[in-house]
Amino acid sequence: MFKNKKSALILAALVIVIVAAVGIWLALGSKGDDNSSNTAANENSGGATVSEEGGTKALSQTYYIYDTVVNIKVFGDKATQQNMDDIQQLLERMDTEFSRTKEDGELYAVNQAAGKEAVTVSDETLDVVKQSLKYAEEMDGLFDPTIGPLVDLWAIGEGGEHVPDQADIDAAKSLTNYKDVIIDEAAKTIKLAKEGMVLDMGGIGKGYAADRIAEYLKEQGLDSAMINLGGSSIIALGNKPNGSPWNIGLQDPDQSRGTQLGTIKISDEVIDASGVYERFFMQDGVRYHHILDPRTGFPSQNGLKSITIMSPNATDADALSTGVFLMGLEEGMKYLESLPEKVDAFFITDDNKIYATSGLKDRLILTDPTYTFAN
């Protein structure tokens, strides 16, 4: 899931590409209340940029982790470089624990022991795997943390992509079944029932990490922050320092346009987006993207371009953005509306129509006439 880069040049190039392609970005306010041009900033010795916005101290730091650019901005006089260092350590720990490619990672060890033995893991790894299995059961396997064999087979984003042979897809599908994950909570162990199975936390890891950062900040008495994990998973903690909600710009899922389709104001809320534009390749005029359907072994082709989830926590939003996308528009809308907790979303179809859940439509302000509400 999370891979080390081989050179500083590759890292620098990826940072530039990811920043340019972020699908959702933070807008500190509309043109009328954006005070960034009047903000004095300096670099902390530890790496964070210190500034003052509206009379409130702000610390901002960017990390490259989870194969993406992570930006944390914390407001309040209590905010210190130590907080940013603690966050970095937290991110690095989970990056290693949840990685299926880092040889010192716990998930890597579980996958290596597939079909052989149980592996003892930390409370954190046990928790994220347990939560992933809960989502898998609730979504009837559309979200499946054992999707690893299919992810490896398609290798989308790795270069040289092509549609695999059907026999290879069938073999990978046979190893994809969340019910074959055996957890012993008392012993804190995880075992995969079949050799060749691969646990992959790519559909939940960033959201889980974002929630842990939010918990840490609250424990430190810091209740105004923006946590942005690569643009696809964003937590707005509390409100802006002046008490107003955060103004989030939502980029057109057609990345080539580089323009936002609208904005939305949020407070103590999470935005998580998934779409066919994030990682894909073209073959014979067909777009094959990274959202793989465990039922077919192929990338979903259901007429959806993207889905954006609004949820109280990032772990829910991360898992739902994958599973609900695979449900498709009609089934996905019904599923979200039926949930006991407050979760909203909007879907964008291939014809640039927007379908929003009942609690979201009135909050979403469209600014690009290419897109129109269909419901």
Using 50, 70 and 90 to split pLDDT, how confident is the model at 255? low
181 has pLDDT over 90: yes
Read off the pLDDT of residues 58-111 as tens digits, 9 standing for 90 and up. Answer: 999 999 987 888 999 999 999 999 999 999 999 999 999 999 999 999 999 999
In contact, 169 and 288? CB cutoff 8 Å: no
- Residue 358: predicted pLDDT: 86
* Distance from C-alpha of 359 to C-alpha of 372, rounded to nearest angstrom: 17
- Is the pTM higher than 0.95? no
256 has pLDDT over 90: no
Average pLDDT over residues 198-214: 94
273 has pLDDT over 70: yes
Q: Name the token pair of 176.
A: 């994809």
Give start and end residues of each alpha helix (H) in 328-365.
329-338
Kindly give, in sequence order, each residue whose CB lies less than 8 Å from that of residue 222, ignoring residues fewer than 6 positions away. 74, 75, 76, 78, 79, 83, 237
Residue 159: exposure state from Cβ atoms within 10 A (0-12, 13-18, ≥19): exposed
Read off the pLDDT of residues 302-359 as tens digits, 9 standing for 90 and up. Answer: 999 999 999 999 999 999 999 999 999 999 999 999 998 889 999 999 999 999 998 8
39 has pLDDT over 60: no
In contact, 215 and 329? CB cutoff 8 Å: no
- Residue 76: predicted pLDDT: 95
Average pLDDT over residues 163-187: 98
Look at the block and give the residue holding tokens 């890597």. Answer: 108
Rounded-to-5 percentages of helix, strand, coil across the chain: 30, 25, 40
Cα 190 versus chain centre, distance: 24
Q: Name the token pair of 184.
A: 């012993």
